[in-house]
Structures are given as structure tokens and as C-alpha cells.
Chain A
Amino acid sequence: MKFAGDIHQNCAHCSKPCAKGSQRLTTSNYSLTTTATIALCGNPNVGKSTVFNALTGLRQHTGNWAGKTVSVAVGRFETTRYSYTIADLPGTYSLLAHSAEEEAARNYICFNAPDAAVVVCDATCLERSLNLALQIMEICPKTIVCVNLLDEAARRGISVDLERLEKNLGVPVVGTNAHNKRTLAVLTERLDELCAGEISVNPPVLRYIKPIEDAVELLEPICRDYLKCGVPPRRAALALIDNDVSLKEKIEENAGAKIADNRELSQAIDSAAAMLSENGITPDTLKDHIVSCILENAENACKNAVKCGKRRVSKADGILTSKAFGYPIMILMLMCVFWITIVGANYPSELLGSGLFWIGDRLSDFMAFIRAPEWLSGVLVDGAYRVLAWVVSVMLPPMAIFFPLFTLLEDLGYLPRVAYNLDRPFAKCKACGKQALTMCMGFGCNAAGIVGCRIIDSRRERIIAMLTNVFVPCNGRFPMIITIISLFFVSAGGLLGSVLSALVLTLVILLGIFATFGVSKLLSCTLLKGEPSSFTLELPPFRKPQFGKILVHSLIDRTIFVLGRAAAVAAPAGAVIWILANVSAGGATLLSHITGFLDPFARFIGLDGVILTAFILGLPANEIVIPLAVMAYMQLGSLSELAPAQMFTLFTANGWTATTAVCVIIFTLMHFPCSTSLLTIKKETGSWRWAVVGAVLPTVCGVVVCAVVNALMG
């Protein structure tokens, strides 16, 4: 137990020491309010993050697919007796295997010496959850087993006898429904009692088959004497005979001694290994035996405590993943989401735009009033502010609609089905089916999609997913593609028009998906050679989404995050654009020099100098490409908007044909991602090299396809 003040662990979200606990000390008379550290563990997708959020009030985003938490998030909460620091460990299935998440979770429990652990278990598959719980109890006996999702289990005819389970496990067991705050009161109450030592714990010792048990018993006493490191000697002995290299290293580090330096220990390890091989247990089968033994313990603990109904596979699954309906429903769902986003965003965008531009006009008035030089007013108001306002008004409404819709599908559990349906083609490209999920996210924002690639385990497959994410058009590129579609290809107006637009848009998206597969395959054969890695994908039961939370989470976590990043680059880019459009050299603006220079190459790929320049200057945000082109054609000084009819006239007057429109759409789909996405690739891969590949690869694709289309059509 630690007293308040001992811990000044930084809060993960604000990187400042949270002052809540210490404040309590100074304001209250009894300075005995103590702090305690809790490790929150559990399998992926059992509602661990929901429990964490409900306890701490922190908004950590939860989604209905396995593997959301990648780093350890730390939060705080208080009861009447304790001030708790709680660490949300990555979701893992066991502490034996060696993924980065499992290592992080295991190291935290072994070496950060939490006062207690809370293991969140899934009532619908308790055996598997207890597999982890038993391993944690072996290291940290002060554990509370928190059986979550009881309501869901009840719906499926599974009942859990918590009292019996508690007797079997020898540690406190509480039943929770994380969506219902009252059920958590029991958890915190027992946590208080456990930390105060008012509950005695008596977890069962995990027993293995005889040869392994003999080997462990041989090493255990020596470990007790020589390896004082926080890991219980029995567990340390198991790590030694299992030759768990990473755990061994951490044990040596914490014990301050090398295992090889201790003759007695090394000899014992050798004779334990000899004993095992005499009994026909190889290093490979050893792990199997250990796991089966733990699972057997878990089975036994469940035996008289869990009553199982037959698990029915939901009818919805039969349809959503069926041969006949799987893909049509997916495409329909996609079209619906786009349609709602596009139609819903129109009006708010206009409103926001006119509001922000009105403020811009007032800013100009103000500049005139204080007699600011024309260039200053130009750079700040017509440049920086106007572009910023443009980006915000075009970007915000579609994102504020798309992300909640996306989160809705995510919470519902539909997205893992998408990955399931699409795994086959991805596997053919030697990539991972989960890439489909990151692509879905990319429709909202490629930068968000690239961050989402963290759910892919293999590094090779993760980088493939990041580099190809740009082939799905993000919200920044939708309006552009739609504008051109409606100008050149769909003449019908009203509802029919918008449905037709959505249809053509879907075709464009299918082209992007096709490119994703092609480039993934290409990367698998060249830069990122390798075979598809071990793939298991959990298909969680469908869950009722929590609408209120969805709105808050998707707005705060995704929309505001993305918007903030875009705005940060839009303003300076606006200033640069204004300078280019207004500073002249040799009788023409800098902008026209650039467009003139790029024109021959641009013509070759079916575009023109102005369009290509607009794409390059639109690096910070693709939203401004069309307004940039309009500005350049009309030789204006700042971004401009035109009514569709006028825009059509302007474009055709500047030589646009159907071929130009097609090439612009293709190039919109396939070119370097925005600066935010590139920075995100750099951050996620840790190297500029991949960011460069991420920019060059789609651009080369775009240039090649456009050139071919131009040659064929033109």
C-alpha cells in the first residue's frame, strides 16, 4: 500500500500529474486517504475499456472489435476510502505468448507491482477469459474477477453462478454490466475491501502434468532464493523451463543478477530440461501442455458455476455473411452511408461557409479601418483566414455525419463481418482481412484510417494497409469527386440525381478498392515481401449501440481531432497560396508561372497545368483543390466558389472535356495523400522512408492510369 503523494504518475492524457489525490490531502483533516494502483486486464473486446471509462470518466474510445487499446492508458478515480490509479492494459488472451501487447500487460503486472488487479471477463465465454484470469492470479493474487456482459449471456441462455465461481477461484467475483453504472458500485466496494486487506484471497495453485510439475518443483526453491524480482518463484521457475526469453531478461533486470552467473540455477535448469525431454516433452509441446493445463483449470472453475444454453449463431450473421447477400448488403450499406453524408452535409456546409465568410468580410473591413497595408490584409484575411474557413466549412459537416455513422456500425459489430467477408481477396494479396476495417475508416479520413492500422498484428501487413489507405477517397475528396460527377456525368436533379451520383461514386470507390488490392499484391511481392501471417478474427455478437456515447466519441475523438490537424496546416497554406496568386514577376503571377511550367506534363496525363498545380497546393487539404482551380482560371487573388452552371462554363471554356473530368476523378482517387496522412504514416512506421513511399506509390499509379485513360479516350 502506498500513501498519497508517493505516486505522481502522470495522467496519460494530459501528461501532467493529476492533482486530485493530493488536493484531498490538504483539504481534509485525516491524511490517511491512501492511494492504490490497479491493473485492469482482460481479453480483447470484453468491455474492458467501457469499465475503465465508467470508473474514471475518461473518454477512451471503445469499439466492437478485438484489439483497441494498444498502449497503457492511465486514469484515476476515487472512492470514500481510496484514491485509485488505474492502468488499462492492452487486451490479451494470455500472458504466455509474445505479442507486444501481451508483453506489455505481463510486464506491468509482474514488475509495476499493482496493489490489485481487476480482470474483466466475458460471461459468454468465461473459460477463455478465466484462462487469462488464472495466469494473472498466479502473479498477483489480489485479483477481482469481474464477470461482464452478464445481460448478453442471459439473452443467450447462459447463466453464471457468481458465488460458486468465487468459491472455485478463491478470489472475489463480481458481476457487472459496464453500461449500467450501479453494477460498478459493487466492484469498487469490493476493491476497497480487497485493498484494505479485509478480504482474504486464496487462488488455486495452477497444477501441471507430472513431468512439468517435477521440473517446476526442482527450480522453485532456487528461484525463491536467488531471483527476488517481484515475480512469484513458481511463475519464475515456469518461465525458466519454458525458456521464455523476454520474461527471463526482465527477471534478470529486476533481480539485478544474471541467471547464467548462478551455477546452482543453471545446473538446475539443465537437469529440468533433461527431465522433460526424458518424458518426451519437447520445448514445443511444453507450451501446449502448460496452456492445456491452465485451460483445464479454467474448465474446472466453470464446471458447476456456468449453465450453458446452446449458443445460437445470430440469424443476422447468416444473412450478412451469406454468399447471396454478403456483398450486396455491404455495398448497399456503403452507399447509404455516403448518401446520408453527402445529402446531410450540403446545407450545414453552406450555412457554415456563409457564416465564416461573413466574418471574413468583417475582418477585411477591420483591416481597412486600421489602414493595414493591402498585402498584410491579403495574406491574413484573403489568404490564411479564407482558406481556413473554406476547409472548416467543407470538412466539418460531412465528418460530423460520417464518423457517427461509422462508429454506429463499429459499435454494432458489423465491421468485423466486413473483414470476414473480404478476407479471402486480401489473403490472396498476402495481406490481412482487417485491412478492410482500416479502409472503412479511411473513407472518413485517411489519417484516421492509418492510425487504425494498429489493429493489424503483423508489421508487414500493417505497412501495406497504411500505404494503400489513400486509395479509398476520404471525406476531403468526396465533395470534389461528386462535384465533377454532377457537372459532367449526371444531369438529372433532385432525388434521382443524388442517387445516380451515389451510384457513380460507388463505381469510383470500387476502382479505388481494386487499386488497393493490386498495390497490396505488388507490395507483397516487392518492397514488403512475405507470407500472410497467422490470422484469427473474432466475430463478436451484435451489440446494441449506445447512441449518446457514439455521438460524443465520434465527434470529439475523430472529428475534432482531424479538423484540428487540417486547420493547423490550412492557414499557413492559405498565406502561401495568396502570395503565389498575387505576387507577379515578369508580368505574370507566380501561380501562372507554375501552372505554365507544369502544363505540358499535365496535358500528357489528361489534366492541365492549373489542375495539377491545384493538387500540389492542395497538399494540406484536398478540399481546396477545386476552389484553387477556379481561382487560377479566373485569375483571382483568393479562393473562389461558383454556382455549378458557371463552374461548368468556366471549366469547358478552359478546355475541359469528358476525358479531363475522368482523369481528374482518377487523379483525385490516386495521388499523394494529404500532409496530415503523410505525417501520420511517418509517425506510425517511425520512418520517413515509408512516408515517401506512401506519397510516390499512389502518385505513380495515378499518373499511369490517367495517361492510359487519356491516350484511350483522348
Chain B
Amino acid sequence: MSICSLDKINVGQQAEVLELKTAGAMRRRFLDIGLCGGALVECVGRSPMGDPSAYLIRGAVIAIRAVDSKSVIVRSD
């Protein structure tokens, strides 16, 4: 169990979202895709240049840039 930001979790690792530390458009976008407190996220891959990464969120695979996922605080197992 450790608390870190979403961009730090490895491919194949699962995590639970604790908090979104961002405001404005990106926060709304996160909420749209169901990324809010309590949501389960799994990192499923990275693009060839290491960024963005693909996350499995509520059944859909969504690519997020590290600069944005940095503001998602998660608890990973």
C-alpha cells in the first residue's frame, strides 16, 4: 500500500483514486471519464515514447499524459 500520483504506478499495477489535485477543464475531463474519488484504475500500457500512458478506467482504456496524471492521487497495492 502506498500513496502516490497516478503517473508513478507501473504497467499492470492497480490503484484506487483518492483525490484530484487539478481544477478547470482537466478536472471536468477526468470526471467525465469516471475518474473520481473511489474509482479503480489500472495502468495497461505506455506509448513507445513513454508518454502518454493508457489506463483502464471503468471498462474503457484511456490515454492520459503524465503531466495530467501527476495530479491524480491514488493508493496503489
Inter-chain contact A423/B47, CB cutoff 8 Å: yes
- Once A125-B58, A321-B45, A326-B47 are accepted as A-B contacts, the answer to whether A537 and B52 lie under 8 Å apart by CB is yes
Distance of A298 Cα from B64 Cα, bound (Å): 23
The answer, yes or no, to whether B1 is at the interface (CB within 8 Å) is no
A317 within 8 A of B: yes
Name A290's closest neighbour in chain B (CB-CB): B31
Residue A218 CB within 8 A of the other chain: no
A539-B54 contact, Cβ under 8 Å, with A124-B59, A126-B59, A423-B47: yes
Q: In the docked arrangement, what's the CA distance between A433 and B48, Å?
A: 13
Within 8 A of A (CB), among B2-25: 20, 23-25
Query: Is the pair A311, B45 in contact by a Cβ cutoff of 8 Å?
Result: no
Which of B20, B47, B61 meets A538, CB within 8 Å?
B61
- Are A97 and B50 neighbours in the complex by a CB distance under 8 Å? no
Q: How far is the CB of B8 from chain A (nearest CB, A)?
A: 18
Contact A98 B48 (CB under 8 A): no
Contact A535 B64 (CB under 8 A): yes
Whole-angstrom CA separation of A219 from B3 in the bound complex: 39
- A residues in contact with B20, CB < 8 Å: 288
Q: How far is the CA of A311 from the CA of B38 in the complex (A)?
A: 19
Contact of B36 among A291, A321, A326, A424 (CB under 8 A): A291
A420 contacts B by Cβ under 8 Å: yes
A284 interfacial contact with B, CB 8 Å: yes
Query: Is A323 an interface residue, CB under 8 A from the partner?
Result: yes
| Docked pose: A158 CA to B58 CA in angstroms | 13
Q: How many residues of B contact A (CB 8 A)?
A: 38
In Å, the complex CA distance between A124 and B58 comes to 9
| Contact yes or no, B58 A127, CB < 8 A | yes
For B25, the chain A residues whose CB sits under 8 A away are 533-534
Q: Which residues does chain A contribute within 8 Å of B64, judged by CB atoms?
A: 535-536
Please tell me if A327 contacts chain B, counting CB pairs below 8 Å. yes
Residues of chain B lying within 8 A (CB to CB) of residue A124: 59-60
Residue of B nearest to A46 (CB): B60
Known A-B contacts A288-B36, A534-B29; the reply to A321 vs B47 at CB < 8 A is: yes
Q: What interface size band does chain A fall in?
A: 35 or more
- Please give the distance in Å from B55's CB to the nearest CB on chain A: 9
By the criterion CB–CB under 8 Å, are B58 and A327 in contact? no
A651 at the interface (CB under 8 A from B): no
Query: Chain A nearest CB: distance from B68 CB in Å?
Result: 7
Residues of the B chain whose Cβ atoms lie less than 8 Å from the Cβ of A128: 33-34, 57-60
From A288, A318, A533, B45 is in contact (CB under 8 Å) with: A318
B27 to chain A, nearest CB (A): 8
Give 1 or 0 for each of A601-619: 1 = CB within 8 Å of chain B CB: 0000000000000000000
Q: A126-B59, A420-B52 are in contact. Are A427 and B31 (CB under 8 A)?
A: no
Determine whether A421 belongs to the interface, using a CB cutoff of 8 Å to chain B: yes
Other-chain contact of B60, A125, A288, A421, A535 (Cβ < 8 Å)? A125
The CA of A318 and the CA of B44, in the complex, are separated in Å by: 9
**What CA separation (Å) do A424 and B64 show in the bound complex?**
11
- Beta-carbon nearest neighbor of B51 in chain A: A424
CA distance A587 to B21 in the complex (A): 76
Q: Is the CB of B47 within 8 A of A287?
A: no
Q: Is B23 touching A284 in the complex (CB atoms < 8 A)? A: yes
Check if A288 sits within 8 Å of B31, measured CB to CB: yes
Complex Cα distance, B62 from A49, in Å, reads 21
Contact with B along A687-707 (1 / 0, CB 8 A): 000000000000000000000
What 6 A-B pairs have minimum CB-CB distances, sorted nearest first?
A125-B59, A93-B32, A424-B49, A326-B48, A534-B26, A97-B28
Residues of A within 8 A of B (CB): 93-94, 96-98, 122, 124-128, 131, 158, 284, 287-288, 291-292, 295-296, 308, 311, 313, 317-318, 321-323, 326-327, 420-421, 423-425, 427, 433, 532-541
- 5 CB < 8 A contacts A-B: A420-B54, A423-B63, A423-B65, A424-B47, A433-B63
